[in-house]
Amino acid sequence: MLKSEIIGELENWYAENKRPLPWRSNPEPYRVWLAEIVFQQTRIQQGMGHYLRILERFPNVEALAQAHEDEVLKLWEGLGYYSRGRNLLKAAKIISTLGEFPTSATEWQKLPGVGPYTSAAISSVVNNEKIALVDGNVSRVLARVFLIDDDIRSSKTQKELQHLAQKIIDQTDQPGNINQALMELGALICSPKKPKCPVCPINNHCELLLHKEDPNKFPYKSPPPPKTQRDFHWLWASESNYLLLKKRNESDIWQGLFELPSLQNPKKKYPAAKIIHKGTHILSHQRIQYYIWDIKKWESIPQEFKAFALNEELPALPRPLQKFFEN
DNA sequence: GTCCGGAAGT
DNA sequence: ACTTCCGGAC
């Protein structure tokens, strides 16, 4: 059932069609690790600018290990999932202390921010380890090629896909290339919508095509949990020439980023306050209505806040605030 | 409005 | 095993 020609087709297709990405031409552990962290949950186009800026500012793990978290988060600003940036720094300090990079997926996975996917991706590419990875692209490719109609979100299905992927990787002496080929195929050909089946290198092995099924219906994904709704009321005093910002520390979104002072009901303390900007910010799990109030003048300066001149570089801000202060 | 994508906390 | 963490493309 698992035809070996598939491997050869994938190897050839990948050699001819892979995108020329910076860590592919020079797959040092540092560059591959950084790429895998930046591009978790992130499209290449969206994260490439961030990746290049981080690599330029911190050309190696020793340079990164000495960074301050605020600077890493500033470089991460706008990418989302900020625990990736915080864990990147933690892991850099660990690697720097060890004096060398891990050399197996098991060792890589001990680092913060490195899970099953990332450890397999790095070790198969850097160390030629025969270890399979299953990311969103690979899930979709395998579900279509092998006509798997189970819920792609369930951990049971993910386990089965992991097993299936490992059977493929066991048959190749180029695990890094086959892992990347499956991901690249999912990104370039076997896309979520309108897959380019006519030019797919393994279309004659694809169960979905052989059964004349509709690719848009695979894989099946159960609906996500409902979003929680919340409001943010941020305060800004137009008559002062600085901004008050405080680091977000709680176990909540945007941890480590800075934000304006907030009040549940600004009108109570500042009856003359006016909303100068409002918007909706959507996360996968929250729907945020946010309001920025002009209170003209501070009644009293909240102690825990730091003042930043408006013309100096601001620390990392949540995306809605970053967009607001861009203008 | 719709969809997409890994790790960690619990 | 389930929930919480982001932002952008379409």
What is the DSSP secondary-structure string of A21-32?
-HHHHS--HHHH
pLDDT at A288 over 80: yes
The distance (Å) linking the CA of A46 with the C1' of C8 is 8
**A276 backbone dihedrals φ, ψ, rounded to 5°:** -105, -10
A87 sits within 7 Å of strand B by its CB: yes
- A199 C-beta neighbours (distance < 10 Å), count: 11
Query: Quick one: average pLDDT of A28-55?
Result: 96
Q: Which two tokens stand for residue A261?
A: 């002072």
Q: Which chain C positions come under 7 Å from a protein C-beta?
A: 1-9
User: Rounded to the nearest 5 degrees, what angle is found at the Cα of A157, between the Cα atoms of A192 and A183?
Assistant: 40
pLDDT at A228 over 80: yes
A188, A17 in Cβ contact below 8 A? yes
pLDDT at A1 over 60: no
pLDDT at A327 over 80: no
A24, A14 in Cβ contact below 8 A? no
H or E stretch covering A278: strand A274-282
Alpha-carbon gap, residue A140 to A190, rounded angstroms: 8
Query: Quick one: average pLDDT of A116-141?
Result: 96
- Looking at residue A2, its pLDDT comes to 67
Which residue approaches C7 most closely, CA to C1'? Answer: A80
pLDDT at A29 over 80: yes
pLDDT at A98 over 70: yes
Q: Which two tokens stand for residue A205?
A: 């092995």
Query: Quick one: average pLDDT of A101-114?
Result: 96
Q: Directed axis angle between helix A29-38 and helix A116-126, to 10°? A: 150
- Looking at residue A58, its pLDDT comes to 97
The distance (Å) linking the CA of A292 with the C1' of B4 is 30
Alpha-carbon gap, residue A10 to A8, rounded angstroms: 5
pLDDT at A53 over 70: yes
Query: Quick one: average pLDDT of A139-160?
Result: 94
Q: How confident is the model at residue A91 (pLDDT cuts 50, 70, 90)?
A: very high
Q: Which chain B positions come under 7 Å from a protein C-beta?
A: 2-10
| Predicted model pTM | 0.96
Residues 148-177 of A with CB under 7 A from strand B: none
Alpha-carbon gap, residue A144 to A158, rounded angstroms: 14
